[in-house]
Amino acid sequence: MYLNVCADVNNLVCNVTIISVSVPEKLLERVENSIREQGFANRSEIVRQALRTFIMESRSLRELEGEIAASITIIYERDATKGQISEIQHSFGDIISTFLHAHIDEDHCLEVIVVKGEADNIRKLVEAFRTNEQISQIKVFILKSPKKVAL
C-alpha cells in the first residue's frame, strides 16, 4: 500500500510516498543504533539514504560494458546453509579468480570474491548474491574496466 503525502514543512512543499517495510528485529536494532550513532533524524531518513546508495551502486554496475575486474564482499550468518552460497559460486566459476573466507566473529562469515569477466556475467553473479536471503551484506568494488584486464 502506498500513501502520497504532501505537507508544508518550514514553508517548503514536501511530496513523499509512505511505504511499509518489514525487517527482522535484529536488523531494526542495528538501524536504531545507526540512527543514534550517525545522527540520522529518524528511520525514514536512514532508509532513504540506504536506497539512494543502493540505486547509485546498482546503476554504476548496470552501466558497465565489456570485460571488467571487481571484488565482491559478502557477509552472512555462520549457520547459514553454506551450500546455497557455494552453489552460486560454482555456477559462476568461470569468472571467479579467487576468494577468501574468514570468520569475523562467532556468528558471521565474510567472503571476498575476486572476479574477472564480462560485465553482464558479473552483474548476474551480484544479482544472485543480492537475492539470496542468507546474505546480510554485499558490497561490490569495480577495480578496472579496460578492454583487457590482467589479474
66-80 pLDDT, tens digit each: 888 999 999 998 876
Note whether residue 1 is domain-resident: no
| Domain span including residue 76 | 66-144
Scored b (16 or more CB within 10 A) or e, 48-60 reads eeeeeeeeebeee
Count CB-CB contacts under 10 A for residue 72: 19
Burial environment of residue 85 by CB neighbours within 10 A (0 to 12, 13 to 18, 19 or more): buried
Note whether residue 4 is domain-resident: no
**Same domain, yes or no, for 77 and 140?**
yes
The residue among 31, 63, 95 that closes a domain is 63
Q: Which helix (H) or strand (E) holds 118?
A: strand 108-118
Residue 16 has pLDDT above 90, yes or no: no
Residue 72 and residue 3: Cα distance in Å, rounded? 36
pTM confidence score: 0.64
**pLDDT class for 25, splitting at 50, 70, 90?**
very high
Give percent above pLDDT 70 in the chain.
81
Mean pLDDT value of segment 49-70: 81
**Same domain, yes or no, for 102 and 57?**
no
**Same domain, yes or no, for 39 and 105?**
no
**Same domain, yes or no, for 72 and 56?**
no
Mean pLDDT value of segment 5-18: 61
**Same domain, yes or no, for 56 and 72?**
no
Determine phi and psi for 121, rounding to 5 degrees: -70, -35
List of residues 6+ apart from 100 with CB closer than 8 A: 111, 112
pLDDT, residue 63, reads 82
**Same domain, yes or no, for 90 and 129?**
yes
Residue 106 has pLDDT above 60, yes or no: yes
Residue 117 and residue 66: Cα distance in Å, rounded? 8
Residues 131-149: tens digit of each pLDDT? 998 899 999 988 765 455 4
**Same domain, yes or no, for 88 and 75?**
yes
